[in-house]
Each structure stands twice: as C-alpha cells, then as structure tokens.
Structure 1
Amino acid sequence: MSTKVFLIYLLSSFSAVALLFALFLAGISDFKHDASLSPPSLNHGSENDKVWPELKVGWRIALATVIGFLGSAFGTVGGVGGGGIFVPMLTLIVGFDTKSAAALSKCMIMGASTASVWYNLRVPHPTKEVPIIDYDLGLIFQPMLMLGITVGVALSVVFPYWLITVLIIILFIGTSSRSFFKGTQMWREETLLKKEMARQKATFVNSHGELLIDTEYEQLIPKEEKSSMQIFCFNLKWKRILVLMVVWVSFLLLQVTKNTVEVCSEWYWVLFSLQFPIALLVFGYEAVKLYRDYKERMSTGNMEYICEASIEWTVLHILFCALCGILGGTVGGLLGSGGGFILGPLLIEIGVIPQVASATATFVMMFSSSLSVVEFYLLKRFPIPYALYLTAVSVLAGFWGQYSVRKLMEVLERASIIVFILSGVIFASALTMGVVGIDKSIKMIQDHEFMGFLDFCSSQ
C-alpha cells in the first residue's frame, strides 16, 4: 500500500506543479506583446524579429533562475535536458522571441549536460567493471540524433504551429506514461529484492544446518577501491570520443557553410545532403560491429549482453534504434531541445539501467546541444550576458542534481527514482508546451491567421 500511495503522490505532485506553471505561463502571455511563439528554427531571422530584454535584477530573472535551475537539475538526472520547459519560460516570463529562446535553451542544456557528464565520469558503474557511459550506444545514437535535429529544424519552418502542438502532446504524454510504467515495474522489483536481501541478512544457515540470527560475515576477497582519478581515467574512452568529435566537427562545418549560401540554392541542398552519408557512415560502422559481436556471442553460447541494452542486435532492432534516433533529433529540432525526450525513455525501454541511461543520454546531448550553441553563436542568435548567466545556472544545477539524486538513491537504495524524474519532467513539458501551444493556436484562429503549411524556401 505504501508503494501505491507514493506513486500516486509522485504523479499528483508533478501534475499539480506542471499544471500551475502552465496556467501561469498562459496567463501572463496576455501581457506579452513582443514574444512570438512561432516554431523554433536555426535559420537566419530578420534583425527586427529579435527581442532581447536587458539582463537586470527583478522578479522575471529571479523566477527564470529558479525554473532554469530546477529544470536543469531534474532534466539532466532524467537524461532529457529540459528544453520543453526552458523555451516557454524564456519567451513568456523573460520576454525573448522564440528563436532566441531556443538558442538560450540550447545553452542551458549544454551547460547542464556538460556538468552532468563531468560528474558521471567520476562515478563507477554500479554493477560491472565497465564505464558508466555506454559508448556503443552513444555511437549508435549520436549521429542519427544530430541528423534528426537538422531535419527537425527544417520541418519547424514548414509545419503549422497547431500541428507541432499536437505532436508535442501526443509524443510527450506517450513517452512519459511509458516511462512511469517502467518506473513502477522497477520499484516493485527493487522492493522484492530489498525484502529478499533483508531476509538473507536476518537468517543464515551454517554447514551443520543450524539457523543463525543476524550473523555477520566478511567477504574473503575485499573489493578493490579505486580513487576518483582512476575512475575518471577508466570511464574515458578516447578513441570513441574522438569518433564522436569528428562527427561533431563535420556537422558543424556543414551547418556553418550552409548558412553562408543562398537558401534553397543548389549548393544549399548539396551541403544539406552531405550530412546523411556522414551520419550513416558512423552509424553503419557501429551497427555492423554490434551485429557481428552479437552473432559471435550467439554462436559460442555466450548470453552476456554486448552493451547495457538488453536487446538482440538484429537488423530489425538496429533499424529501430536508427529510427528512434532520428525521431528524437527531429523532436529536438522542432522544440529547441536536446532530443533527450526520446533518447532517455528509449534507453530505459531497451533495458539500460537508469544510472547508465542518464549518463549516456546526457553524454550524447552534450554533443548535439554544443553543436547548436556554436552555430547560434556564429549567427548571433542570443545575447552573450544572458547566455553566460543561464549557462552558469545550469552548470551548478547539473552538479547539484546529480549529487542530490545519487545521495537519495544511496539512502533509499532505489535506482527507479531516476525513471520517475524522467517521466515527471517529460509530463511537465507536455503540459507547459501543450497549454501554451493550445492558447496560442486559439488566438491565431481568432485573429484569422494562416494555419496551413508554409513554403520552406520563402519562409527563411
């Protein structure tokens, strides 16, 4: 009964807080005339479209700091970033235009994810002698995620606002519900495991069949304790990181070069198309590696998982991972988030333990968000003072979130807390983005604004 009460309380708390925040945002939007809620885009905008409030002490910056801190802390713990909360907060509370809000949201995601990665690199794997970041999953998802972000940015220019709102509600509610279901399953399994361990600790049968109560014994071979620096060096895999950096630099050069040519020109589409072979090359290399390793293990009868994901690396499952990576990136491009709203729940779904899922998702988001930040900086899409301030807040929040949740996990001995946080952040984002989006769509209908698909080339 206590478990059910806790779960109901947790869901109710997240729902109430998120709903109140969404209603607050929708209410104050009536007083904002400068903040536009058009879909976020990485493309050039008119200088007159920029709305950059002055960075000064006041209730707006104070509220934005609190929301940004909590969103970054819980978002990085769950491995989802928090872009679904940051963009409405920056537009409706602070007063930025949506393109600038999307750029600042990327800065916050980059700061929080970088802090989380730095913290996780100093943390050992909870069950195995392997790095806590699963580099195999990182290499299989990161290229497709970055490719999806590019596609999502292009679609954000074409899709009508109401359609993006509908997609947000359907996708976020679905992923948050599924994550919450997985969390409840893990909670029950952890409860059974704790009861079994308590029973074994309380009773112990010796070699003569005598029942001993509260018997204490020591391990014959004590576990070797590693220093923080040893754990840090062990968690770093430089060859894998170098491959990810090559993909990052390649996408950056293509994006920067693409923004210097005329939109929809021949060279524009050539540069846009070059992103596909780069992503597919890295993805294909890692997919073939996982497939061969899986076949070799099956032929020898070795049932040990190749990486953290407890799935069979067949062609069908590999294609499914590619599709999910592109989908996650597309959602990130549409919303100005890091794509973690798909990647985080997906890693949990395929059997990755919460600690590794969180560390791997934030590791991948660090690359995708930093790519966008560099491009936004070159396009001068955000004010430097605000970016530095909000990034600093997110960095502190990333450390605080990881430290606090891991301490809480040690006390409660439950890793499912990470899954509940992930589910809660996605659900809160669904409510905030959904309520604000519906409110904006209704106003567009009342004002007889165009509600159809836009032309990509003429909308740049």
Structure 2
Amino acid sequence: MRNVVLFSFILLFVLLIFCANRTTKNESSSLQSLYHHAKVTSHPGYEHIWPNIEFGWEIIVGTLIGVFGASFGSVGGVGGGGIFVPMLILIIGFDAKSATAISKCMVTGAAISTVFFNLKLRHPTLDIPMIDYDLVLLNQPVIILGISIGVVLSVVFADWMITVLLIIIFIVTSVKAFIKGLDTWKKETIVKEEFVKHLESTATSSEDVEYKYLPSCPDDEPQKKINQGTILSNIQWKKFGLLCFVWIAVLLLQIAKNYTATCSIKYWLLTLLQIPVTVGVSMYQAIGLYQGKKITVSKQDHGTHWPLHLLIVSLSCALLAGILGGLLGVGSGFVMGPLFIEFGIAPQVASATATLGMTFTASISVAQYFLLNRFPVPYALYLTIVATIAAYIGQKIIDRLVNIFQRASLIIFVLSFTILVSAIALGGVGISHMIEKIQRNEYMGFEDLCY
C-alpha cells in the first residue's frame, strides 16, 4: 500500500512539472490565451471551451476534487461523475459538453482500476468471485439500450427539466441508501453481539468459531486466502465475452450513427438495430435465470430460480437506470448500486458488480467522444490517471476498513454520501444556468430533436 501511494505522488508530481514546463513555453501574457475554442459539435454555433493545461490553483484544486470524487465514487460503485462535471466546469473552466466528455474518461479510468482491484477478490461469505457476472449480463445490455434512449431525450428536454429530475432522483436515492445503511448497521451490530455472546458461552477458542456475515479481519490468514484469488480464475470468460460482444456491437452502431444525418432513415435504422443486440442478450440471461439453468448465487434467496416479477423489476430498473444515465449524463451505478443493495446483495458485491457494468457503458461514451474530438487529450489523460490511481487507493482503504471494523455498511454510507454530494453539485450548476437563462429571457421549453 505504501509503495502504491508513493508511486502515485511521484507520478502526479512529474505530470504537474510537465504541465508547468508546457505552460512556460507556450503561454502568452494575454488573459484570453488561457482559453482556446474548438468548434467541434453536432450543434451548429456551439463553441467548446478548452482551457490550456497549466500549473496553477485550478489544476491543483481540480486534482484534489478529482481524487476525492474517484475514491468515494469507486467505493460506492457510482464512478464519481456527479462530482467531476461541476469541478470541470466551475474550477477548471470547461464548457458543459466538454466537461461531460472528460468526466466519462475519468469515470472509465476509475472503473477499470476498481474492476482490476475487485477481480482479485472473492465473495465475502461464498466461494465465488466478488463480481456477479450473471447479474451484470442480465442488466447491462438493457442499461446500454436505455442510455441511447436517454441521450435522445436529453436533446429534447429543457435544461431545467433535467436539473429538477436529477435533484429529485438523487436525493430520493441517497435517502433510501442511507436508510438501508442504517438497517444494515443495526443487523451487523446484532450479529457482532451474538458472536461475542457465543464466544463467552463456549469454552472453545475463537479459531473454532466462524463469523460468516462479513469477511474476517486481515489477521485471519485462512479466511483471507478464501477471499482472494487470481485474476484469471475470477473471470467467467463466457459471460465476459458476451458482454464484450454487446459492447463492440453497440459501439459500431453508435459510430455509424454519428456519421449519418440526424432523423434520417439510416439514423433511426441504426438506432433500432441496438434493440435485438441488447434485449436479445438480456432475455437470454433472463430465461436462463427463470428456468433455473443459470444462477446468481450472490442473491442467495433467489439463487437457483428467479421469479418472473423479480426479473421484470430488475430489467425495468436497468432500463430506467440507462435512460436516466443518458438523460442526466451520469453513470448507471447511481441507480443500479442502490438497487442491488435493495435486492439483498452484499454491499461489496453490489459495488463491484455495478462498477463492472459502468466500465462498459462509460468506455463506449469515451470511444465516441474521442472519435468526434470532443475533449482535449492531454487534459483528459492527466485527469484520467488521477482518477485511476485515486480509485485504486480508495478501494484499498475501504477494503481495509470493512475488514477491521467488520461493517460492510460503511460502503452503503459512502454510496449515500457520494450521491448526495453529486445532487448538490450538479443541482447547483443546473440552477445557476437556469437563473442565467431566465435573466436573459431565453427559451426554456422542449427542443426539436431534428433541427
């Protein structure tokens, strides 16, 4: 852990020195040289604002906020995009669309780092991988479809509508997650008390008693070996391959769609072609779960057979999560993480599973943004490295805390806190833009998708 932290600070220091040298050579004395404008957008007349990468208070504060957002976001499985976007707009000075693109880069880096960390871990109480691939395969294709729908709706909906919807959904989700965290905390307290009473009432040593609710402390070497494994042994290749197939197919369709006229026959045909790819894979998994041919053992009460109503709820929430992700510009983990916990899945598994799904969705967006030149690569690369390192360190810290205090509810509280902070930050930015539009008497109704 010490070596990881030391390496991280050295890498960040080198990058900051590089930024400073680059700025010294290229910076002019004019105040307007702080910005250069790139007119690269699907909407005519829109100017992207890309600040020059330079060493100053903006990049220092932005880096610190990025570290905070990535470490907390990776723990809860939500990515941290709700913290990254306001930071990129208010602190560093990007326009909203460029900030969203760079935020996706940071979320992707943090998600990949978190997935790499979780691939080495096993389930806290069962001898299976930490990531539930069956759960990802059931929900993720539908989430990707929902994101495509949400992106279309984001063009039509007015900014104030999106802001109000974002605040309401995030606050409700945060409160529900907090209540679930309190409930889990109480259950953990009861289990710990019963465990202590059992130790006191028996003459056996603590080595003969197994504490099954959460992973045991780091000092317990036999249990630690159970909860760790090799990366290759923890990957279920067939299911992972199906996820990659959906990722590649949807990415190719999205790239092709970007080179067609909006609302043309070819545009809608490419959009509709996503349905058989995404829904087909999710239905294949759902039928297997319903018939008992496939299992999600992380949800032990429905491990061998999922009832129809639970499958409908899961797929509906996945579609809704995707729509909200595309509409609000945030990761689907903001909805799926709390939903998995509501299903009774262990917080560690819920976070790890939601993060794997978020890796696929965020990386699709990054690939599209890169091909369309929607973000400055040096800035995005630097902030992505920051998010990647911070996410890994955040996972290390929370894993150690959960093992020491024997409370997985800490993950739920971090999730609730991250969503609440995101609601305040994104809501504040949205409200400020609403006020500016009202003062300028701008049109605030529905927009035309095909203009």
Residue in 1 that maps onto 2:205: 216
Contact map agreement 1:51 1:96 (CA 8 A) in 2: yes
1:2-151 mapped onto 2 (5 Å cutoff)? 44-46=42-44, 49-151=47-149
Which amino acid is the alignment partner of residue 44 of structure 1?
Answer: S
Give the one of 347, 350, 373 matched to 2:343.
350
Judged with a 3 Å threshold, the aligned counterparts in structure 2 of structure 1 residues 118 and 96 are, in CA distance, closer, same or farther, namely same
Shift of 1:439: 2.2
| Superposition TM-score, scaled by structure 1 size | 0.83
The answer as to whether partners of 1:158 and 1:453 remain within 8 angstroms in 2 is yes
Q: 1:400 aligns with which of 381, 390, 393?
A: 393
**Residue 313 (1) aligns with residue 306 (2):** yes
Q: Find the counterpart in structure 1 of residue 214 from structure 2.
A: none
Find 2:418's aligned residue among 400, 417, 425.
425
2:135·2:296 contact (CA, 8 Å) conserved in 1?
Answer: no
What is the SS of the residue equivalent to 1:417?
helix
* Alpha-carbon distance, 1:44 to partner: 2.4
| CA separation of 1:67 and 1:161: change in aligned 2, threshold 3 A | same
Task: Report how far residue 411 of structure 1 moved.
Answer: 1.4
Amino acid across the alignment from 1:114: I
**Offset of 1:223 from its aligned partner?**
5.0
Q: Gaps spanning 5+ residues in structure 1: where?
A: 1-31, 36-41, 205-211, 297-303
Which one-letter code corresponds to 2:252 in the other structure?
Answer: L
For the structure 1 residues 406 and 220, does the alpha-carbon distance in structure 2 shift closer, same or farther, using more than 3 Å as the test? closer
1:305 and 1:246 map into 2 onto residues whose CA distance is: 21
Q: 1:218 to 1:172 in 2, by over 3 A?
A: closer
In the superposition, relative to structure 1, how do residues 434 and 228 fare at CA in structure 2: closer, same or farther (>3 Å)?
Answer: closer
> How far, CA to CA, are the matches of 1:388 and 1:216 in structure 2?
53
Q: After superposition, where does 1:301-340 map in structure 2 within 5 Å? A: 306-308=297-299, 310-311=301-302, 313-340=306-333
Shift of 1:316: 2.2
Q: 1:203 aligns with which of 198, 201, 208?
A: 201
Deviations 1:284-341 (A, max 9, x none): 00000000018x9xxxxxxx96443745722222122112111111221123222111
Instruction: Report the counterpart of residue 207 of structure 1 in structure 2.
Output: none
Mapped contact 2:110–2:389 kept (Cα < 8 A) = yes
Q: CA deviation at 1:443?
A: 2.0
CA deviation vs aligned residue, 1:169-215 (integer Å, no higher than 9, x gap): 110011101000000000000011111111112221xxxxxxx4xx4
Offset, 1:252: 0.4
8 Å contact 2:199–2:206 — kept in the other structure? no
Q: 230-239 or 342-351: which moved more? A: 230-239
CA contact (8 A) 2:298 2:349 kept: no
Counterpart of 2:252 in structure 1 is: 253
Distance change (3 Å), C-alpha of 1:200 and 1:173 = same
Q: Distance in 1 between matches of 2:226 and 2:197?
A: 33
Q: Deviations over 1:340-378 (max 9, x none)?
A: 110111111111100000110110001111111111100
Cα gap change, 1:305/1:58 in structure 2, threshold over 3 Å: closer, same or farther? closer
2 CA distance for matches of 1:398 and 1:124?
A: 19
Please give the per-residue CA displacement for 1:253-275, whole angstroms capped at 9, x wherever unaligned: 00000011111111000001111
Conserved in 2, the CA contact under 8 Å of 1:309 and 1:350? Answer: no
Q: Counterparts of 1:390 and 1:190 in 2: how far apart (Å)?
A: 37
Q: 1:452 aligns with which of 439, 445, 450?
A: 445
Match of 1:272 in 2: 271
Partner of 1:179: 177
| 1:417–1:401 CA distance, 2 compared to 1 (3 A) | same
Aligned residue type for 2:320: L
In 2: Cα distance, 1:174 partner to 1:315 partner: 26
Change (3 A) 1:308 1:334: same
Range 131-140 or range 305-314, more displaced? 305-314
**Distance in 1 between residues matched to 2:357 and 2:299, nearest whole Å:** 15
Q: Which residue of 2 aligns with 1:17?
A: none
Which of 376, 382, 397 matches 2:369?
A: 376
Q: Is the 8 A contact 1:124 1:231 kept in 2?
A: no
Amino acid at match of 1:351: G
Letter of the 1:433 counterpart: L
Distance 1:349 1:43 in 2: 40
| Amino acid in the other structure paired with 1:76 | S
Alignment-mate amino acid for residue 268 of structure 1: Y
Aligned match of 2:217: none
After superposition, what is the alpha-carbon deviation per residue over 1:73-123, rounded to whole angstroms, capped at 9, x for unaligned? 110110111111111111111111111111101000000000000001111
Letter of the 2:322 counterpart: G
Aligned mates of 1:52, 1:440 — CA distance in 2: 19
Q: How many residues align?
A: 403
Kept after mapping to 1: 8 A contact 2:123/2:227: no
| Greater than 6 Å deviation, 4+ residue runs | none
* SS of residue paired to 1:251: helix
- What RMSD, in angstroms, separates the aligned Cα atoms of the two structures? 2.4
Tell me the distance in 2 between the aligned counterparts of 1:219 and 1:417. Answer: 27
Q: CA deviation at 1:225?
A: 6.8
Using the aligned pairs only, state the percent identity: 46
Partner residue in 2 for 1:10: none
Q: For the residues of structure 2 that align with 1:228 and 1:177, how far apart are their CA atoms? A: 31
SS at match of 1:52: strand
CA-CA distance at 1:45 after TM superposition: 4.0
- Aligned-pair CA distance for 1:43: 6.8
> Runs of 5+ in structure 2 lacking a partner?
1-31, 211-220
Aligned counterparts of 1:69 and 1:309: Cα–Cα separation in 2: 35
What amino acid sits opposite 1:382 in the alignment? Answer: F
The higher relative CO (CA closer than 8 Å, separation ≥ 6) is in 1
Q: Counterpart of 1:170?
A: 168
> In 2, distance between residues paired with 1:309 and 1:282?
23
- The TM-score normalised by the length of structure 2 is 0.85
